[in-house]
Amino acid sequence: MDEKVRHRQSLFELREKTLGRILDETVARVPDHDALIYADRGYRQTWREFADTVDAFAKGLMALGVGKGEKVAVWATNVPYWVTLQFATAKIGAILITVNTNYREHELRYLLNHSECENIFLIDTLRDHAFVDTLYAIAPELRRQGRGRLHCAALPHLKRVCYLGAEKFRGMYSVPEILGMAVMVSDEDYRARQAELDPWDVINMQYTSGTTGFPKGVMLTHVGVGLNGYWIGRNMGFSEKDRLCLCVPLFHCFGCVLGVMACVNHGTCMVIVEKFNPLTVLAAVDSERCTALHGVPTMFLAELEHKLFKRFDVSSLRTGIMAGSTCPEPLMRRVVEEMNMKDITICYGLTEGSPVMTQSDVDDPLPLRCETVGCPMPGIEVRIADPDTCEELPRGQVGEILCRGYNVMKGYYKMPEETARTITPEGWLHSGDLGVMDEAGYVRVTGRIKDMIIRGGENIYPREVEEFLMGMPDIMDVQVVAVPSRKYGEEVAAFIIPRKGAVVAPEDIRAFCRGQIAWYKIPRHIAVVDAFPLTASGKIQKFRLREMAAERWPELMK
Protein backbone atom coordinates (compact mmCIF):
# COMPACT_ATOMS: atom_id res chain seq x y z
CA MET A 1 0.00 0.00 0.00
CA ASP A 2 1.32 3.46 -0.90
CA GLU A 3 2.51 5.76 1.89
CA LYS A 4 -0.24 8.36 1.53
CA VAL A 5 -2.96 5.76 1.16
CA ARG A 6 -1.54 3.88 4.14
CA HIS A 7 -1.65 7.07 6.21
CA ARG A 8 -5.25 7.75 5.25
CA GLN A 9 -6.34 4.23 6.09
CA SER A 10 -4.55 4.38 9.46
CA LEU A 11 -6.83 7.30 10.39
CA PHE A 12 -10.01 5.38 9.68
CA GLU A 13 -12.46 4.57 12.42
CA LEU A 14 -15.85 3.08 11.60
CA ARG A 15 -18.30 5.61 13.04
CA GLU A 16 -21.64 3.77 13.15
CA LYS A 17 -23.98 6.67 13.75
CA THR A 18 -27.41 7.68 12.52
CA LEU A 19 -27.79 11.06 10.86
CA GLY A 20 -29.85 12.17 13.85
CA ARG A 21 -27.04 11.36 16.25
CA ILE A 22 -24.51 13.20 14.07
CA LEU A 23 -26.71 16.29 14.19
CA ASP A 24 -27.30 16.02 17.94
CA GLU A 25 -23.56 15.78 18.64
CA THR A 26 -22.88 18.90 16.57
CA VAL A 27 -25.66 20.82 18.34
CA ALA A 28 -24.21 19.83 21.72
CA ARG A 29 -20.79 21.09 20.65
CA VAL A 30 -21.65 24.38 18.89
CA PRO A 31 -25.31 25.18 19.67
CA ASP A 32 -25.11 28.93 19.06
CA HIS A 33 -23.03 28.93 15.87
CA ASP A 34 -24.72 29.65 12.54
CA ALA A 35 -26.07 26.49 10.91
CA LEU A 36 -28.30 27.47 8.00
CA ILE A 37 -28.52 30.76 6.09
CA TYR A 38 -30.38 31.97 3.02
CA ALA A 39 -28.60 35.26 2.44
CA ASP A 40 -31.13 36.57 -0.10
CA ARG A 41 -34.13 36.33 2.22
CA GLY A 42 -32.86 36.84 5.76
CA TYR A 43 -33.47 33.22 6.79
CA ARG A 44 -30.96 32.30 9.51
CA GLN A 45 -30.80 29.53 12.10
CA THR A 46 -28.25 28.50 14.69
CA TRP A 47 -27.55 24.81 15.19
CA ARG A 48 -29.92 24.74 18.18
CA GLU A 49 -32.68 26.47 16.24
CA PHE A 50 -32.16 24.20 13.25
CA ALA A 51 -32.28 21.05 15.43
CA ASP A 52 -35.44 22.26 17.17
CA THR A 53 -37.10 22.75 13.79
CA VAL A 54 -35.95 19.29 12.70
CA ASP A 55 -37.46 17.73 15.83
CA ALA A 56 -40.77 19.55 15.36
CA PHE A 57 -40.86 18.53 11.69
CA ALA A 58 -40.07 14.91 12.61
CA LYS A 59 -42.82 14.79 15.22
CA GLY A 60 -45.23 16.36 12.73
CA LEU A 61 -44.44 13.61 10.23
CA MET A 62 -45.09 11.00 12.92
CA ALA A 63 -48.41 12.69 13.70
CA LEU A 64 -49.31 12.41 10.02
CA GLY A 65 -48.70 8.68 10.30
CA VAL A 66 -45.34 8.41 8.51
CA GLY A 67 -43.85 5.13 9.69
CA LYS A 68 -40.35 3.74 9.91
CA GLY A 69 -39.23 2.54 6.47
CA GLU A 70 -41.82 4.63 4.60
CA LYS A 71 -40.56 6.59 1.63
CA VAL A 72 -40.76 10.39 1.53
CA ALA A 73 -40.01 11.96 -1.84
CA VAL A 74 -38.83 15.56 -2.11
CA TRP A 75 -39.27 17.28 -5.48
CA ALA A 76 -37.89 20.74 -4.96
CA THR A 77 -35.05 23.18 -5.50
CA ASN A 78 -32.83 24.20 -2.56
CA VAL A 79 -35.67 25.88 -0.70
CA PRO A 80 -35.81 26.40 3.08
CA TYR A 81 -36.94 23.22 4.86
CA TRP A 82 -35.24 20.94 2.29
CA VAL A 83 -32.37 20.20 4.66
CA THR A 84 -34.79 20.18 7.61
CA LEU A 85 -36.75 17.44 5.85
CA GLN A 86 -33.53 15.51 5.17
CA PHE A 87 -32.89 15.18 8.92
CA ALA A 88 -36.53 14.97 10.04
CA THR A 89 -37.04 11.86 7.91
CA ALA A 90 -33.74 10.39 9.11
CA LYS A 91 -34.71 10.89 12.76
CA ILE A 92 -37.88 8.82 12.39
CA GLY A 93 -36.41 6.16 10.11
CA ALA A 94 -38.22 7.24 6.95
CA ILE A 95 -36.37 7.01 3.62
CA LEU A 96 -35.86 10.28 1.77
CA ILE A 97 -36.16 9.96 -2.01
CA THR A 98 -34.54 12.88 -3.80
CA VAL A 99 -36.29 13.71 -7.07
CA ASN A 100 -34.51 15.38 -9.98
CA THR A 101 -36.05 18.81 -10.55
CA ASN A 102 -35.86 18.23 -14.30
CA TYR A 103 -38.32 15.33 -14.09
CA ARG A 104 -41.62 15.65 -15.86
CA GLU A 105 -44.89 13.73 -15.60
CA HIS A 106 -43.74 10.38 -17.04
CA GLU A 107 -40.56 10.26 -14.96
CA LEU A 108 -42.29 11.31 -11.74
CA ARG A 109 -44.97 8.66 -12.19
CA TYR A 110 -42.32 6.01 -12.78
CA LEU A 111 -40.29 7.00 -9.71
CA LEU A 112 -43.26 7.15 -7.33
CA ASN A 113 -44.62 3.81 -8.50
CA HIS A 114 -41.31 1.97 -8.73
CA SER A 115 -40.24 3.14 -5.26
CA GLU A 116 -43.69 2.41 -3.80
CA CYS A 117 -43.51 5.90 -2.32
CA GLU A 118 -46.10 6.79 0.31
CA ASN A 119 -45.35 10.52 0.73
CA ILE A 120 -44.17 13.43 -1.40
CA PHE A 121 -43.11 17.02 -0.67
CA LEU A 122 -42.97 19.44 -3.59
CA ILE A 123 -42.73 23.09 -4.55
CA ASP A 124 -44.99 25.01 -6.89
CA THR A 125 -42.97 26.03 -9.94
CA LEU A 126 -39.48 25.94 -11.45
CA ARG A 127 -38.99 28.06 -14.56
CA ASP A 128 -41.79 27.02 -16.97
CA HIS A 129 -42.71 23.85 -15.10
CA ALA A 130 -45.58 23.84 -12.58
CA PHE A 131 -44.82 20.91 -10.24
CA VAL A 132 -48.17 21.15 -8.47
CA ASP A 133 -50.08 21.03 -11.76
CA THR A 134 -48.05 18.00 -12.85
CA LEU A 135 -48.96 16.11 -9.70
CA TYR A 136 -52.64 17.09 -10.05
CA ALA A 137 -52.51 15.75 -13.62
CA ILE A 138 -51.19 12.38 -12.40
CA ALA A 139 -53.38 12.27 -9.28
CA PRO A 140 -56.60 14.22 -9.96
CA GLU A 141 -58.09 12.59 -6.86
CA LEU A 142 -56.01 15.05 -4.79
CA ARG A 143 -58.50 17.83 -5.56
CA ARG A 144 -61.49 16.03 -4.07
CA GLN A 145 -60.24 13.60 -1.41
CA GLY A 146 -59.41 14.33 2.21
CA ARG A 147 -55.78 15.01 3.08
CA GLY A 148 -53.87 11.99 4.26
CA ARG A 149 -56.49 9.61 2.86
CA LEU A 150 -55.48 9.66 -0.77
CA HIS A 151 -56.52 6.76 -2.99
CA CYS A 152 -55.08 7.37 -6.45
CA ALA A 153 -55.47 4.97 -9.36
CA ALA A 154 -52.24 6.05 -11.07
CA LEU A 155 -50.19 6.16 -7.84
CA PRO A 156 -51.58 3.34 -5.67
CA HIS A 157 -48.91 3.59 -2.94
CA LEU A 158 -49.14 7.35 -2.39
CA LYS A 159 -50.90 8.36 0.83
CA ARG A 160 -49.89 11.93 1.60
CA VAL A 161 -48.91 15.02 -0.36
CA CYS A 162 -47.25 18.01 1.29
CA TYR A 163 -46.18 21.41 0.05
CA LEU A 164 -42.62 22.34 1.06
CA GLY A 165 -43.60 25.85 2.10
CA ALA A 166 -46.35 27.89 3.76
CA GLU A 167 -48.78 28.08 0.83
CA LYS A 168 -51.94 25.96 0.83
CA PHE A 169 -53.03 23.71 -2.02
CA ARG A 170 -56.04 21.44 -2.27
CA GLY A 171 -55.27 17.96 -0.88
CA MET A 172 -51.86 18.97 0.50
CA TYR A 173 -50.45 19.71 3.94
CA SER A 174 -48.24 22.79 4.34
CA VAL A 175 -45.05 23.05 6.41
CA PRO A 176 -46.64 25.26 9.13
CA GLU A 177 -49.45 22.72 9.52
CA ILE A 178 -46.97 19.86 9.90
CA LEU A 179 -44.88 21.79 12.42
CA GLY A 180 -48.05 22.59 14.33
CA MET A 181 -48.91 18.89 14.59
CA ALA A 182 -45.71 18.20 16.56
CA VAL A 183 -47.61 18.63 19.86
CA MET A 184 -49.57 15.48 19.01
CA VAL A 185 -46.47 13.28 19.51
CA SER A 186 -44.87 12.91 22.94
CA ASP A 187 -41.13 13.12 23.57
CA GLU A 188 -41.28 9.52 24.78
CA ASP A 189 -42.78 8.26 21.53
CA TYR A 190 -40.26 10.30 19.54
CA ARG A 191 -37.32 8.87 21.49
CA ALA A 192 -38.77 5.36 21.16
CA ARG A 193 -38.89 5.73 17.37
CA GLN A 194 -35.26 6.84 17.28
CA ALA A 195 -34.23 3.91 19.48
CA GLU A 196 -35.55 1.55 16.78
CA LEU A 197 -33.09 2.85 14.18
CA ASP A 198 -29.98 1.03 13.00
CA PRO A 199 -27.09 3.03 11.48
CA TRP A 200 -27.02 0.54 8.61
CA ASP A 201 -30.67 1.19 7.73
CA VAL A 202 -31.42 2.61 4.29
CA ILE A 203 -32.08 6.31 4.78
CA ASN A 204 -31.80 7.79 1.29
CA MET A 205 -32.78 6.71 -2.22
CA GLN A 206 -31.61 8.46 -5.35
CA TYR A 207 -32.68 7.47 -8.83
CA THR A 208 -29.96 7.19 -11.46
CA SER A 209 -30.26 6.21 -15.10
CA GLY A 210 -28.39 3.18 -16.34
CA THR A 211 -27.73 1.23 -19.52
CA THR A 212 -31.18 -0.37 -19.25
CA GLY A 213 -32.82 3.00 -19.82
CA PHE A 214 -34.87 2.60 -16.62
CA PRO A 215 -33.83 4.71 -13.62
CA LYS A 216 -32.66 2.68 -10.64
CA GLY A 217 -33.25 3.50 -6.98
CA VAL A 218 -29.88 3.58 -5.20
CA MET A 219 -30.30 2.62 -1.52
CA LEU A 220 -27.89 4.49 0.78
CA THR A 221 -27.46 4.10 4.56
CA HIS A 222 -26.91 6.40 7.55
CA VAL A 223 -23.32 5.13 7.77
CA GLY A 224 -22.73 5.47 4.04
CA VAL A 225 -23.71 9.13 3.64
CA GLY A 226 -22.87 10.18 7.20
CA LEU A 227 -19.34 8.81 7.32
CA ASN A 228 -18.62 9.81 3.73
CA GLY A 229 -19.62 13.37 4.60
CA TYR A 230 -17.38 13.30 7.67
CA TRP A 231 -14.25 12.40 5.69
CA ILE A 232 -15.07 14.79 2.85
CA GLY A 233 -15.23 17.65 5.35
CA ARG A 234 -12.19 16.50 7.28
CA ASN A 235 -10.09 16.32 4.11
CA MET A 236 -11.05 19.96 3.47
CA GLY A 237 -10.18 21.04 7.02
CA PHE A 238 -13.79 21.95 7.84
CA SER A 239 -14.64 23.28 11.30
CA GLU A 240 -17.28 25.46 12.94
CA LYS A 241 -15.28 28.46 11.69
CA ASP A 242 -16.09 27.64 8.05
CA ARG A 243 -19.06 28.76 5.97
CA LEU A 244 -19.91 26.82 2.80
CA CYS A 245 -21.79 28.51 -0.03
CA LEU A 246 -23.92 25.62 -1.26
CA CYS A 247 -25.30 26.29 -4.73
CA VAL A 248 -25.33 22.78 -6.22
CA PRO A 249 -28.68 20.91 -6.20
CA LEU A 250 -29.55 19.24 -2.90
CA PHE A 251 -31.33 16.41 -4.74
CA HIS A 252 -27.89 15.27 -5.94
CA CYS A 253 -25.20 13.71 -3.71
CA PHE A 254 -23.04 16.75 -4.44
CA GLY A 255 -25.52 18.81 -2.46
CA CYS A 256 -26.88 16.51 0.24
CA VAL A 257 -23.62 14.65 1.05
CA LEU A 258 -20.56 16.63 -0.16
CA GLY A 259 -22.38 19.74 1.01
CA VAL A 260 -24.84 19.10 3.82
CA MET A 261 -23.24 16.07 5.48
CA ALA A 262 -19.74 17.54 5.27
CA CYS A 263 -21.07 20.62 7.09
CA VAL A 264 -23.23 18.90 9.71
CA ASN A 265 -20.41 16.56 10.75
CA HIS A 266 -18.09 19.50 11.47
CA GLY A 267 -20.45 22.29 12.53
CA THR A 268 -19.78 24.24 9.34
CA CYS A 269 -22.43 26.81 8.40
CA MET A 270 -24.48 26.16 5.26
CA VAL A 271 -25.13 29.28 3.16
CA ILE A 272 -27.64 27.92 0.67
CA VAL A 273 -28.51 29.31 -2.75
CA GLU A 274 -31.93 28.15 -3.99
CA LYS A 275 -31.11 28.04 -7.71
CA PHE A 276 -27.69 28.52 -9.26
CA ASN A 277 -27.04 32.00 -10.51
CA PRO A 278 -23.46 33.28 -10.63
CA LEU A 279 -24.46 36.72 -9.38
CA THR A 280 -26.41 35.28 -6.43
CA VAL A 281 -23.49 33.01 -5.53
CA LEU A 282 -20.94 35.83 -5.62
CA ALA A 283 -23.22 38.04 -3.52
CA ALA A 284 -23.67 35.28 -0.92
CA VAL A 285 -19.92 34.63 -0.70
CA ASP A 286 -19.29 38.35 -0.26
CA SER A 287 -22.03 39.15 2.26
CA GLU A 288 -21.61 36.02 4.40
CA ARG A 289 -17.80 35.84 4.17
CA CYS A 290 -17.95 32.24 2.95
CA THR A 291 -14.76 30.21 3.26
CA ALA A 292 -15.81 27.40 0.93
CA LEU A 293 -17.66 27.00 -2.35
CA HIS A 294 -18.76 23.89 -4.23
CA GLY A 295 -19.50 23.57 -7.93
CA VAL A 296 -18.95 21.84 -11.23
CA PRO A 297 -16.41 23.45 -13.61
CA THR A 298 -19.10 25.25 -15.62
CA MET A 299 -20.37 26.95 -12.43
CA PHE A 300 -16.92 28.25 -11.49
CA LEU A 301 -16.41 29.43 -15.06
CA ALA A 302 -19.74 31.30 -15.00
CA GLU A 303 -18.74 33.05 -11.78
CA LEU A 304 -15.29 34.02 -13.05
CA GLU A 305 -16.60 35.21 -16.41
CA HIS A 306 -19.46 37.28 -14.97
CA LYS A 307 -19.05 40.93 -15.91
CA LEU A 308 -19.52 42.00 -12.27
CA PHE A 309 -17.10 39.45 -10.79
CA LYS A 310 -14.51 42.04 -9.76
CA ARG A 311 -17.09 44.01 -7.78
CA PHE A 312 -17.41 41.23 -5.20
CA ASP A 313 -15.02 40.44 -2.38
CA VAL A 314 -14.27 36.72 -2.48
CA SER A 315 -11.06 36.92 -0.46
CA SER A 316 -12.67 34.97 2.41
CA LEU A 317 -12.71 31.79 0.29
CA ARG A 318 -10.05 29.15 0.90
CA THR A 319 -11.48 25.73 -0.03
CA GLY A 320 -14.33 23.91 -1.73
CA ILE A 321 -14.90 21.08 -4.16
CA MET A 322 -14.82 21.03 -7.94
CA ALA A 323 -16.39 17.81 -9.19
CA GLY A 324 -18.87 16.38 -11.68
CA SER A 325 -16.67 16.57 -14.77
CA THR A 326 -13.08 17.08 -15.86
CA CYS A 327 -11.38 20.12 -14.35
CA PRO A 328 -9.11 21.87 -16.87
CA GLU A 329 -5.90 23.08 -15.22
CA PRO A 330 -6.24 26.66 -16.58
CA LEU A 331 -9.65 26.94 -14.89
CA MET A 332 -8.32 25.47 -11.65
CA ARG A 333 -5.50 28.02 -11.66
CA ARG A 334 -7.98 30.86 -12.12
CA VAL A 335 -10.12 29.58 -9.23
CA VAL A 336 -7.04 29.40 -7.01
CA GLU A 337 -5.64 32.78 -8.02
CA GLU A 338 -8.74 34.90 -8.68
CA MET A 339 -11.11 33.33 -6.11
CA ASN A 340 -8.44 32.68 -3.45
CA MET A 341 -9.43 28.98 -3.20
CA LYS A 342 -5.92 27.71 -2.57
CA ASP A 343 -7.23 24.67 -0.67
CA ILE A 344 -9.76 23.56 -3.31
CA THR A 345 -10.09 19.78 -3.64
CA ILE A 346 -11.27 17.33 -6.26
CA CYS A 347 -13.67 14.49 -5.44
CA TYR A 348 -14.59 11.44 -7.48
CA GLY A 349 -17.25 8.81 -7.02
CA LEU A 350 -20.76 7.79 -8.00
CA THR A 351 -24.16 7.78 -6.34
CA GLU A 352 -23.87 4.05 -5.63
CA GLY A 353 -20.76 4.84 -3.54
CA SER A 354 -22.46 7.35 -1.20
CA PRO A 355 -20.81 8.94 -3.32
CA VAL A 356 -17.08 9.77 -2.87
CA MET A 357 -14.37 7.11 -3.17
CA THR A 358 -11.32 9.33 -3.84
CA GLN A 359 -10.43 12.90 -2.92
CA SER A 360 -7.37 15.09 -3.28
CA ASP A 361 -5.77 16.78 -0.28
CA VAL A 362 -5.63 20.53 0.20
CA ASP A 363 -1.81 20.38 0.16
CA ASP A 364 -1.50 18.35 -3.06
CA PRO A 365 0.35 20.25 -5.81
CA LEU A 366 -2.06 21.98 -8.17
CA PRO A 367 -1.18 19.84 -11.23
CA LEU A 368 -1.94 16.73 -9.18
CA ARG A 369 -5.35 18.16 -8.23
CA CYS A 370 -6.10 18.73 -11.92
CA GLU A 371 -4.64 15.60 -13.45
CA THR A 372 -5.97 13.14 -10.83
CA VAL A 373 -9.00 12.76 -8.58
CA GLY A 374 -6.89 12.09 -5.51
CA CYS A 375 -6.37 8.82 -3.68
CA PRO A 376 -8.74 6.45 -1.84
CA MET A 377 -10.77 7.82 1.07
CA PRO A 378 -10.18 6.33 4.54
CA GLY A 379 -12.13 3.09 4.92
CA ILE A 380 -12.54 2.59 1.17
CA GLU A 381 -10.51 0.28 -1.06
CA VAL A 382 -10.03 1.35 -4.67
CA ARG A 383 -8.51 -0.72 -7.45
CA ILE A 384 -8.08 -0.52 -11.21
CA ALA A 385 -9.27 -3.83 -12.59
CA ASP A 386 -10.24 -5.84 -15.59
CA PRO A 387 -13.95 -4.99 -16.09
CA ASP A 388 -14.89 -8.63 -16.68
CA THR A 389 -12.83 -10.47 -14.05
CA CYS A 390 -12.34 -7.65 -11.48
CA GLU A 391 -8.71 -8.77 -11.20
CA GLU A 392 -6.44 -5.91 -10.22
CA LEU A 393 -4.24 -4.56 -13.00
CA PRO A 394 -0.64 -3.32 -12.70
CA ARG A 395 -0.05 0.34 -11.85
CA GLY A 396 -0.15 2.56 -14.90
CA GLN A 397 -2.51 0.29 -16.84
CA VAL A 398 -5.99 1.46 -17.83
CA GLY A 399 -8.92 -0.51 -16.44
CA GLU A 400 -12.25 -0.07 -14.66
CA ILE A 401 -12.28 1.80 -11.34
CA LEU A 402 -13.78 -0.36 -8.57
CA CYS A 403 -14.29 0.36 -4.88
CA ARG A 404 -15.22 -1.58 -1.75
CA GLY A 405 -16.11 -0.40 1.75
CA TYR A 406 -18.73 1.05 4.10
CA ASN A 407 -19.83 3.44 1.34
CA VAL A 408 -21.16 0.87 -1.13
CA MET A 409 -24.94 1.04 -1.55
CA LYS A 410 -27.21 -1.69 -0.22
CA GLY A 411 -28.37 -2.23 -3.77
CA TYR A 412 -30.89 -1.02 -6.33
CA TYR A 413 -34.46 -1.03 -5.02
CA LYS A 414 -36.40 -4.03 -6.39
CA MET A 415 -33.66 -4.72 -8.97
CA PRO A 416 -31.66 -7.73 -7.71
CA GLU A 417 -30.24 -8.62 -11.12
CA GLU A 418 -28.99 -5.07 -11.72
CA THR A 419 -27.54 -5.06 -8.22
CA ALA A 420 -25.68 -8.33 -8.85
CA ARG A 421 -24.21 -6.92 -12.06
CA THR A 422 -22.99 -3.82 -10.24
CA ILE A 423 -21.67 -5.28 -6.95
CA THR A 424 -19.55 -8.44 -7.02
CA PRO A 425 -19.98 -11.23 -4.44
CA GLU A 426 -16.74 -9.93 -2.88
CA GLY A 427 -18.28 -6.48 -2.43
CA TRP A 428 -16.55 -4.60 -5.27
CA LEU A 429 -18.67 -1.83 -6.80
CA HIS A 430 -18.32 -1.33 -10.57
CA SER A 431 -18.05 2.37 -11.43
CA GLY A 432 -18.36 2.05 -15.20
CA ASP A 433 -15.43 4.46 -15.45
CA LEU A 434 -12.03 3.82 -16.95
CA GLY A 435 -8.99 4.97 -15.03
CA VAL A 436 -5.38 4.45 -14.11
CA MET A 437 -3.61 4.49 -10.72
CA ASP A 438 -0.05 5.76 -10.36
CA GLU A 439 2.66 4.42 -8.07
CA ALA A 440 1.63 6.81 -5.28
CA GLY A 441 -1.99 5.61 -5.32
CA TYR A 442 -3.51 8.60 -7.12
CA VAL A 443 -6.29 7.83 -9.58
CA ARG A 444 -6.75 9.43 -12.99
CA VAL A 445 -10.11 9.02 -14.73
CA THR A 446 -9.73 8.46 -18.45
CA GLY A 447 -13.39 8.18 -19.42
CA ARG A 448 -16.52 6.07 -19.33
CA ILE A 449 -16.34 2.50 -20.59
CA LYS A 450 -19.34 3.19 -22.80
CA ASP A 451 -17.87 6.54 -23.94
CA MET A 452 -14.63 5.01 -25.18
CA ILE A 453 -14.23 5.46 -28.93
CA ILE A 454 -13.12 2.43 -30.92
CA ARG A 455 -11.88 3.60 -34.32
CA GLY A 456 -10.78 0.82 -36.60
CA GLY A 457 -9.67 -1.28 -33.63
CA GLU A 458 -7.84 1.60 -31.90
CA ASN A 459 -9.11 2.60 -28.44
CA ILE A 460 -9.43 6.37 -28.00
CA TYR A 461 -10.20 7.91 -24.61
CA PRO A 462 -12.19 11.16 -25.06
CA ARG A 463 -10.68 12.77 -21.97
CA GLU A 464 -7.16 12.47 -23.39
CA VAL A 465 -8.18 14.35 -26.54
CA GLU A 466 -10.16 16.91 -24.52
CA GLU A 467 -7.20 17.68 -22.27
CA PHE A 468 -4.92 18.11 -25.25
CA LEU A 469 -7.31 20.47 -27.03
CA MET A 470 -7.71 22.57 -23.86
CA GLY A 471 -4.11 23.60 -24.45
CA MET A 472 -5.19 25.57 -27.54
CA PRO A 473 -5.36 29.25 -26.45
CA ASP A 474 -8.61 30.09 -28.26
CA ILE A 475 -10.55 27.16 -26.75
CA MET A 476 -12.48 27.75 -23.52
CA ASP A 477 -14.02 24.27 -23.25
CA VAL A 478 -14.29 21.10 -25.31
CA GLN A 479 -16.14 17.79 -25.25
CA VAL A 480 -15.27 14.78 -27.41
CA VAL A 481 -17.71 12.01 -28.37
CA ALA A 482 -17.94 9.11 -30.80
CA VAL A 483 -19.91 9.34 -34.02
CA PRO A 484 -20.65 6.47 -36.41
CA SER A 485 -18.34 5.73 -39.33
CA ARG A 486 -19.08 3.25 -42.13
CA LYS A 487 -15.35 2.72 -42.69
CA TYR A 488 -13.95 2.67 -39.14
CA GLY A 489 -16.99 1.92 -36.99
CA GLU A 490 -16.55 5.14 -35.01
CA GLU A 491 -14.84 8.50 -35.52
CA VAL A 492 -13.88 11.32 -33.18
CA ALA A 493 -16.14 14.38 -32.99
CA ALA A 494 -15.31 17.49 -30.98
CA PHE A 495 -17.71 20.17 -29.71
CA ILE A 496 -15.83 23.41 -29.06
CA ILE A 497 -16.71 26.50 -27.02
CA PRO A 498 -14.27 29.26 -28.07
CA ARG A 499 -13.04 31.99 -25.77
CA LYS A 500 -14.89 35.28 -25.91
CA GLY A 501 -13.98 37.13 -29.09
CA ALA A 502 -12.01 34.22 -30.55
CA VAL A 503 -12.78 32.69 -33.94
CA VAL A 504 -11.93 29.00 -34.12
CA ALA A 505 -12.08 27.16 -37.45
CA PRO A 506 -12.06 23.35 -37.71
CA GLU A 507 -8.85 23.40 -39.75
CA ASP A 508 -7.13 25.47 -37.03
CA ILE A 509 -7.94 22.73 -34.54
CA ARG A 510 -6.70 19.95 -36.79
CA ALA A 511 -3.50 21.91 -37.47
CA PHE A 512 -2.98 22.27 -33.71
CA CYS A 513 -3.26 18.47 -33.37
CA ARG A 514 -1.02 17.39 -36.25
CA GLY A 515 2.25 15.99 -35.09
CA GLN A 516 1.23 16.32 -31.45
CA ILE A 517 -1.24 13.45 -31.01
CA ALA A 518 -1.75 10.24 -32.99
CA TRP A 519 -3.43 10.93 -36.30
CA TYR A 520 -6.40 8.69 -35.55
CA LYS A 521 -7.20 10.76 -32.41
CA ILE A 522 -7.53 14.01 -34.37
CA PRO A 523 -11.24 14.98 -34.54
CA ARG A 524 -12.73 14.23 -37.93
CA HIS A 525 -15.88 16.24 -37.15
CA ILE A 526 -15.78 19.57 -35.31
CA ALA A 527 -18.64 21.82 -34.20
CA VAL A 528 -18.38 25.24 -32.55
CA VAL A 529 -21.18 25.76 -30.00
CA ASP A 530 -22.17 28.35 -27.40
CA ALA A 531 -22.82 25.87 -24.58
CA PHE A 532 -23.03 22.17 -23.73
CA PRO A 533 -26.24 20.40 -22.68
CA LEU A 534 -26.21 19.99 -18.90
CA THR A 535 -28.08 18.04 -16.24
CA ALA A 536 -29.75 19.90 -13.36
CA SER A 537 -26.60 19.28 -11.31
CA GLY A 538 -24.37 20.80 -14.00
CA LYS A 539 -22.94 17.62 -15.51
CA ILE A 540 -22.37 17.53 -19.24
CA GLN A 541 -24.76 15.20 -21.08
CA LYS A 542 -22.57 13.40 -23.60
CA PHE A 543 -25.50 11.39 -24.91
CA ARG A 544 -27.13 14.69 -25.93
CA LEU A 545 -23.93 15.68 -27.72
CA ARG A 546 -24.15 12.43 -29.67
CA GLU A 547 -27.75 13.31 -30.53
CA MET A 548 -26.59 16.78 -31.62
CA ALA A 549 -23.97 15.13 -33.81
CA ALA A 550 -26.69 13.07 -35.50
CA GLU A 551 -28.65 16.27 -36.20
CA ARG A 552 -25.60 18.21 -37.41
CA TRP A 553 -24.11 15.46 -39.57
CA PRO A 554 -27.11 13.31 -40.67
CA GLU A 555 -25.03 11.61 -43.35
CA LEU A 556 -23.18 9.75 -40.57
CA MET A 557 -26.35 7.98 -39.54
CA LYS A 558 -27.02 6.45 -42.96
pLDDT of residue 516: 85
Q: What is the pLDDT of residues 396-406, one digit of tens each?
A: 999 999 999 99
pLDDT of residue 537: 66
47-197: CATH topology: Rossmann fold (3.40.50)
pLDDT of residue 1: 66
User: Cα torsion for 32, 37, 42, 46, to the nearest 10°?
Assistant: -10
What CATH number was assigned to the domain covering residues 3-14+216-421+433-448?
3.40.50.12780
The angle, 0 to 180 degrees and rounded to 10, between the axes of the packed helices 278-288 and 297-305 is 80
Q: Domain boundaries in the chain?
A: 3-14+216-421+433-448, 47-197, 453-557
Per the prediction, the chain carries an average pLDDT of 93
Examine domains 47-197 and 453-557 and report if their fold is the same.
no
Name the DSSP class of 258: I
E-state strands within 438-549: 443-448, 453-455, 458-460, 475-485, 489-498, 525-528
pLDDT of residue 558: 56
Residuewise pLDDT in 10s, the chain (558 residues) = 688 889 899 999 999 999 999 999 999 999 999 999 999 898 999 999 999 999 999 999 999 999 999 999 999 999 999 999 999 999 999 999 999 888 888 889 999 999 999 999 999 999 888 999 999 999 999 999 989 889 999 999 999 999 999 999 999 999 999 999 999 999 999 999 999 999 999 999 999 864 344 789 999 999 999 999 999 999 999 999 999 999 999 999 999 999 999 999 999 999 999 999 999 999 999 999 999 999 988 899 999 999 999 999 999 999 999 987 777 788 899 999 999 999 999 999 999 999 999 999 999 998 888 889 999 999 999 999 999 899 999 999 999 999 999 999 999 999 999 999 999 999 999 999 999 999 999 999 987 787 878 787 677 878 889 988 999 999 999 999 998 887 777 889 999 999 999 999 999 999 999 988 878 889 999 999 999 998 766 778 888 898 898 888 887 755
Q: For residue 128, which amino acid is it? A: D
pTM, rounded to two decimals: 0.86
pLDDT of residue 211: 34
| Beta strands at 71-75 and 34-38: parallel, antiparallel or unpaired | unpaired
What CATH number was assigned to the domain covering residues 453-557?
3.30.300.30
First to last CA, the chain: 51
Taking the C-alpha atoms of residue 387 and residue 398, their distance in angstroms, rounded to an integer, is 10
Number of H helices, E strands in the chain: 19, 28
Q: HSE of 195 in the Cβ direction (CA atoms, 13 Å)? A: 6
Q: What is the pLDDT of residues 35-48, one digit of tens each?
A: 999 998 989 999 99
453 close to 465: Cβ distance less than 8 angstroms: no
pLDDT of residue 210: 44
pLDDT of residue 237: 97
Among residues 444, 539, 439, 459, which one has the least CA distance to residue 4?
439
